[in-house]
A and B are shown apart, each in its own frame.
Chain A
Amino acid sequence: MSLYTVLMNHRSEIRVGWLEQLLADSELGSIGEVVLGDLIDELFRHIALAPEDTDGDALARRAISFSRRAYSHNLDGRQTAALILQLKRPLFNVLDEAEADSERLWEVLEFVDGLALEVLSRRIEYLNDLAEAQRQEVLQLSTPVVHLWDGVLLMPLIGTMDSVRSAAALETLLEGVEESGAEVAILDISGVPTVDAEVGRRLIRAASAVRLMGAEMYISGVSPRIASTIVTLGVDLSEVKTTSTLARGLRRALERLGLQVMRVAAQ
């Protein structure tokens, strides 16, 4: 008899024993009989789809899809794995004396441990993908290029700048300058709490790149705190035009374009 046959022939017995044990468990018991029963049924549904001669390890890989149901019931990875590991005793209980040779016990262990391990590794994979997707989203969110005036681009930076974020942002800004043929690009860092030496150097590099493209970059919104940090870090910003507020940056940009803002006499 294969492990598959043992599982299918004794499934109601296993279900009762397993459920009893889970409900007695201090951590998993609170999940409730309905959800636990549903998860057990789901696992057996997946096992039933496997070919009869599948060995323990391969059976575990097939049964993994059941974990999706566990997550839809809001179980975390640890709970799902703990639930699987509790299957050992009810499974041992249904093995006949004769069946319970070391080979068979080994296969049962392989199946249960393998499934628990798969559950955890899939969960980690899923969380990693999620973290990566969110990181990408933040990168995109943080780098809008705004067309402020004919020939003037603005990129407002918000939040802490690390080297990855600042590199992505500055690249976007340079591409914006190239596409629009802008004459001035204003990088507003009002929303940036602090910068480190690496980010400071990147800002200088971006400014000189913008200069090579025939345009000019201003950094506006330099807070007193950032100003003193930059000085302390020994980053030389003398080649970059900086202004304290975005309004001053815009005024400078307009001056460069030969434009002037005037108050029109009240009607």
Chain B
Amino acid sequence: MSGVVRTGGVLLATLPPLPTDQALRELANSVLVEVDRGGECRLVVDASKLEVVDVFFAEGLVQLARSAQILGCEVALAGVPAGAALVLSALGSDLAGVRAFRSVEHALNAPD
């Protein structure tokens, strides 16, 4: 299950368990379209279902976060599993400026 949902002032993007390059690109596109539509912008990327992470995915994720930030969005990652977190940090993915939360719930309840 993947997709973009707008709840309140938050854009919630869910990553599928095994994201292909194609799927990630499509998700990024829908996110950016939603962001562009205007309004308040807070993007929460739900990574709790992630199972497999590789270097291409890591790059795609960094690009998604960067582009959203350029459009003025505050970006948060939620529920990254241990294995994926280890791979992302081993790849040296530059997710500076991206806040991380233990779960989507934590991300939604976090103070600005």
A132 within 8 A of B: no
Decide: B102 and A209 in contact? CB cutoff 8 A.
Answer: no
Give the distance to chain A from B57, nearest Cβ to Cβ, in Å.
13
Q: Which of A206, A210, A211, A214 has the most CB of B within 10 A?
A: A214
Return the CB mask of B82-111 against A: 1 if under 8 Å, else 0. 111110111000010000111100110000
Decide: A214 and B82 in contact? CB cutoff 8 A.
Answer: no
Among B83, B88, B103, the residue within 8 A (CB) of A181 is: B103
A178 within 8 A of B: yes
Interface size class of chain B, counting residues whose CB lies under 8 Å from the partner chain: 20 to 34
Among A171, A183, A205, A214, the residue within 8 A (CB) of B80 is: A214
Give the distance to chain B from A220, nearest Cβ to Cβ, in Å.
20
Decide: A211 and B82 in contact? CB cutoff 8 A.
Answer: no
Decide: B90 and A213 in contact? CB cutoff 8 A.
Answer: no
A174 within 8 A of B: yes
Q: Which of B79, B84, B88, B89 has the most CB of A within 10 A?
A: B89
Q: How far is the CA of A174 from the CA of B90 in the complex (A)?
A: 13
Contact (A181, B90) CB under 8 Å given A174-B85, A212-B95, A214-B80: no
A79 within 8 A of B: no
B41 within 8 A of A: no
Among A174, A175, A206, A215, the residue within 8 A (CB) of B102 is: A215
Q: How far is the CA of A250 from the CA of B46 in the complex (A)?
A: 30
Among A170, A171, A175, A213, the residue within 8 A (CB) of B100 is: A213
**Residues in chain A near residue B95, CB distance under 8 A:** 212
